[in-house]
Amino acid sequence: MTKEIQSIGDIKTEIMSDLELKKQTIDEIRKALHVRGEFMQASFIDALKELEEEGKVYLDEDGFYKKFDYKQLGKVQGKIYINNIGKGFVFIENNGRKTKYLVNENHLNGALDGDVVVLKDINHGKTNYATAKVEKIIKRAKGKTIFEYAGDGEFIPYSIHGNVTIICPKEELKKIVKGQRVLVNIDKEKIATIENKAVFEAHIDKIVGHKDDPDIEIATIAAEHAFFKDFPEDVIEQLETIPDQVLPEDFDNRNDLRHCNIFTIDGKDTKDIDDAISIIKTKDDHYILSVHIADVSHYIKENSPLDLEARKRGTSAYLASSVIPMFPHQISNGICSLNEGVDRLTKTVEMYISPNGEILDYQIYDSVIQSKKQMNYDEVNQILINKNTPKGYETFVEDLQIMNELSKKLNARRQNEGKVDFASDEIKIITSPTGEALEFETRKQNQAEHLIENFMIAANSCVAEYYKWLETPQVYRVHGTPNDDNLIEALQTLKKEKLCSKQDVDSLINKIKNGHYNSADLNAFLDRFKKDENYSIISHLILTSMSKAKYTSTCEGHYGLGLNYYTHFTSPIRRHPDLMVHRLTNPYQKYDIPKLLTYYHTLPEMCEHDSFMEREADQAEKEVLALKMAEYMQRKFEEDHNYIYEGRIIEMTPYDTKIKLKNQVIGHVTPQDLARAKASNHNRKLKLGEKVFVLVKEVSIPHRIIYFNLNYKELSKPTQKVLK
């Protein structure tokens, strides 16, 4: 290193320049760059590590670093995704061409979902599809997973795939007993291979529970995604300092709205109530809609134990019939919950809306309310749909009817502005008092649910617009414009599988290619198939071609909602971003601009973490659903091995066929079983959306998966009794 290096970037440039000439050991590179001194040595190691993680250099078994060249090495590097049937996938894009690499379970070599890995033994089959094996792990995504202790120092991986075992320090083994499940931090470096098992060093992070504990399966899934019911001691101690009722001094500088006809509408079992609504219709047919949101930021002071724990969790996790809250129940169900008949502190968004649903003006202010009634969706729908008035709702009927009238106008306006309506694939689990799944049903949204959704979207949009106009730091909820190539690929799949007409697909593709399409065109396309039996498949294919919504500190609009300004403001009890939005209103309201400006540096990292934890909560929820389906089908299988179920093919790939039964349960058919079924039916080709009849072949509770056998004798007709 002939000159003083100012940054790791400079060191990386020099390392790459040096490796252009020949492969070298770390000592040879160090000498060539004249690395001296403790600080320079640390920077050099960091630079080399970054280059390896970025896939720019490769360290071989003999300790030589070389430039990572696919053609010379015959290897690729990327992030691996592992699904619940044990298949790993790495997607590599090179010169505009994307290749998918498939890694079978027995070739994962200890890799976990999200790890950065090097792949070897690559075998190209189709043009965009190849098989490979994991050679080594470059970087762990989380490095945390669940093992079950079998005693005598032996650990069994619980839900991960592949032949893997771990070695933990003896002092840690003294704290656990046989049968306990533990969350461990597993190292990325394999230390040995014993009896075809990859061996890694690991440390016990948390004891999740014993395999015989009630709800251990849900606790296991939650722990894998960093959600735990217990709170740290300092959080519990802070709870002692928080009042259980609104104090007289809390009324200062707040609008007193306790006289208003304010109420809440939620699910029957909801206990963390963070939004309330009220409405006035003026003589000239304008509307004054007020959305009142629990002022959690008043009680949760910044950088306090409660705040730091909420920041860490990012969100509440709703797992079947249980909830792992972001805040302890004293907060989420107590002082911050807008319970009926008690004073509560809120932040209010008051909107002045025209007769055709245009928001003409709005204001945001601190308030105190008292909810006059805790309503639920079912009973409100009785009023709005069936014209029946449940007892206790008599004095609220007129307001509910006005709200429903406004809700439809707000929705129609957003439809015109480009909102995209995707099919809802959310499934509700109906459980017994002991937590057993009794049935699964698609969660339906009726007028009451739409009413709350439309009002919350309106409030969120107003808050986002206000702070974008102020140009002060803020958290935004953004959903980007879909990638044209991905959208076209999804549309071409729909055409190939004959799920949509060639004319409809080609018309939209031409608009996309010519740059003359917008979200309204996409919504119109989807609207044509809403009554089609395969609409959910069509909608899902389009939706998965798009990027996921996320949190950022820049206002970039929300494509799916057709809005230029959007944030999350309405659920601060269960979402950390909403709490941050509330907190960022406080300095502005107090004209503490210097305090507000300090957030410019901290918000991007917070937004990234909140987006990550949201994905973790979503994944945990999906895994719990899969778990409950597996438990349900295991019971049915034990009752009668010969039941035949009717279902529909909802996804087909070279490595998996996914089938959704009429009872909403989702299972898989392996490529081998699919081939056997086809051979028994004169090689008849199956297609996406086709109705089939299946038997349960196998159920794995740890992997939360159901395997089906297609009815060999006749794919499309049952030969025995059918359980729907």
**Domain-by-domain residue ranges, the chain?**
8-67, 70-139, 144-213, 233-475+568-620, 481-546, 640-723
Contacts of 511 (CB under 8 A, 6+ apart): 517, 521
Yes or no: say if 147 and 181 are a contact pair by the CB < 8 Å rule.
yes
Token pair, residue 422, equals 């995707």
C-beta neighbour count of 147 within 10 angstroms: 25
Q: Mean pLDDT: which of 63-67, 141-145, 452-456, 684-688 is highest? A: 452-456
| Residue 349 pLDDT > 90 | yes
Q: Note the pLDDT of residue 422.
A: 85
Give the integer Cα–Cα distance in Å for 475 and 485: 29
Residue type, 396: F
The reply to whether domains 70-139 and 144-213 share a CATH topology is: yes
- Kindly state the percentage of the chain with pLDDT values over 70: 96
Contacts of 181 (CB under 8 A, 6+ apart): 146, 147, 148, 149, 158, 207, 208, 209, 210, 211, 216, 220, 223
Residue type, 397: V
| Residue 722 pLDDT > 70 | no
DSSP-derived secondary structure for 405-465: HHHHHHHHHHHHTT---PPP--EEEEE-TTS-EEEEEEPP--HHHHHHHHHHHHHHHHHHH
Helices (H) and strands (E) in the chain, counts: 20, 31
Q: Note the pLDDT of residue 617.
A: 97
| H-type alpha helices, 119-182 | 170-173
| H-type alpha helices, 516-656 | 519-527, 535-544, 576-589, 593-597, 599-639
Q: 300-309, 326-335, 713-722: which range is least confident on average?
A: 713-722
Q: Buried b / exposed e across 352-391, counting CB within 10 Å, b at 16+?
A: bbeeebebeebebebbbbbbbbbbbbebbbbbbeeeeeee
| Residue 716 pLDDT > 70 | no
Residue type, 25: T
Model confidence band, residue 600 (pLDDT cutoffs 50, 70, 90): confident
Of 504 and 683, more confident:
504
Q: Note the pLDDT of residue 721.
A: 52
Model confidence band, residue 85 (pLDDT cutoffs 50, 70, 90): confident
| Residue 338 pLDDT > 80 | yes
Q: Note the pLDDT of residue 345.
A: 98
Q: Note the pLDDT of residue 676.
A: 87
Q: Note the pLDDT of residue 597.
A: 80
Q: Note the pLDDT of residue 1.
A: 47
Token pair, residue 463, equals 């808050």
The highest-level CATH class for domain 640-723 is mainly beta
| Residue 589 pLDDT > 80 | no
Token pair, residue 618, equals 């979503």
The highest-level CATH class for domain 70-139 is mainly beta
Residues 643-663, mean pLDDT to the nearest whole number = 92
pLDDT of 605-642, one tens digit each? 999 999 999 999 999 999 999 999 999 999 999 998 88
Model confidence band, residue 2 (pLDDT cutoffs 50, 70, 90): very low
The candidate with the shortest Cα–Cα distance to 88, out of 118, 59, 67, 58, is: 118
Contacts of 417 (CB under 8 A, 6+ apart): 520, 562, 563
| Residue 410 pLDDT > 90 | yes
Model confidence band, residue 724 (pLDDT cutoffs 50, 70, 90): very low
Residues 207-224, mean pLDDT to the nearest whole number = 95
DSSP 531: T
pLDDT of 5-44, one tens digit each? 458 888 889 999 889 888 999 999 999 888 888 888 888 9
Contacts of 627 (CB under 8 A, 6+ apart): 217, 218, 221, 701, 704
Residues 672-689, mean pLDDT to the nearest whole number = 84
Q: Note the pLDDT of residue 266.
A: 96
| Residue 535 pLDDT > 80 | yes
Residues 407-426, mean pLDDT to the nearest whole number = 88
Model confidence band, residue 304 (pLDDT cutoffs 50, 70, 90): very high
Q: What angle do CA 283, 286, 292 make, to 5 degrees?
A: 115
Q: Note the pLDDT of residue 586.
A: 74
| Residue 723 pLDDT > 50 | no
Yes or no: say if 3 and 36 are a contact pair by the CB < 8 Å rule.
no
Q: Mean pLDDT: which of 374-383, 513-522, 648-657 is highest? A: 374-383
Yes or no: say if 145 and 184 are a contact pair by the CB < 8 Å rule.
yes
Q: Note the pLDDT of residue 280.
A: 98
Q: Does domain 144-213 have CATH number 1.10.20?
A: no
Residues 468-479, mean pLDDT to the nearest whole number = 92
Q: 81-95, 215-229, 650-664, 704-718: which range is least confident on average?
A: 704-718
DSSP 563: B
pLDDT of 100-141, one tens digit each? 999 999 999 999 999 999 999 999 876 668 999 999 999 999
pTM equals: 0.90
The candidate with the shortest Cα–Cα distance to 411, out of 569, 523, 291, 516, is: 523
Q: Note the pLDDT of residue 683.
A: 77
